[in-house]
């Protein structure tokens, strides 16, 4: 989870950890780099409107880094226009969600990822 809104990031991180997920939380793009390299996340919920290094830059970093390039990147942002969605796709995001996002939507994203990941590893 990467978001400069500390309260929002902590709330989603808590929700995910209570559901049994192993979570790391970053509050800046630079911190996301460092944590990503240590943690190797499978899914990253990433705000686009981060200061200094925005979410697009973080996504490009993940896609260019071999140990991170296969992570599912989910834009979780207040920016939901057509141009924002186009730019997130170009930067390497797999999915674009606009805040506020209901917990059920997050659960669906996780369930679909797990189902797909299980299906490809069970072959």
* Structure confidence by residue, pLDDT tens digits, 21-48: 999 999 999 999 999 999 999 999 999 9
Q: N- to C-terminal Cα distance for the chain? A: 30
- Domain 6-121 fold: Rossmann fold (3.40.50)
Check: CB of residue 37 under 8 Å from CB of residue 67.
yes
Neighbours of 80 (CB within 10 A): 14
Rounded CA Rg of the chain: 14
CA distances from 115 to 42, 59, 68, 91 (A): 13, 23, 20, 25
* The pLDDT of residue 123: 46
Delimit the domains of the chain by residue range.
6-121
* Confidence band, pLDDT 50/70/90 cuts, at residue 116: confident
CB atoms within 10 A of CB 11: 14
pLDDT score at 120: 55
The residue behind tokens 């797909």 is 116
**pLDDT tens figures, 60-87:** 999 999 999 999 999 999 999 999 999 9
């Amino acid at each position: 989870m990467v978001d400069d809104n500390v309260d929002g990031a902590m709330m989603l991180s808590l929700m995910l950890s209570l559901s049994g997920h192993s979570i790391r939380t970053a509050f800046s793009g630079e911190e996301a780099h460092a944590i990503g390299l240590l943690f190797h996340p499978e899914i990253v919920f990433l705000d686009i409107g981060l200061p200094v290094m925005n979410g697009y830059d973080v996504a490009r970093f993940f896609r260019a880094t071999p140990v991170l390039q296969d992570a599912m990147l989910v834009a979780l942002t207040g920016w939901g226009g057509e141009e924002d969605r186009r730019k997130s796709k170009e930067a390497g995001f797999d999915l674009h969600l606009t805040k506020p996002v209901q917990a059920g939507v997050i659960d669906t994203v996780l369930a679909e990822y797990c189902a797909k990941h299980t299906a490809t590893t069970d072959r």
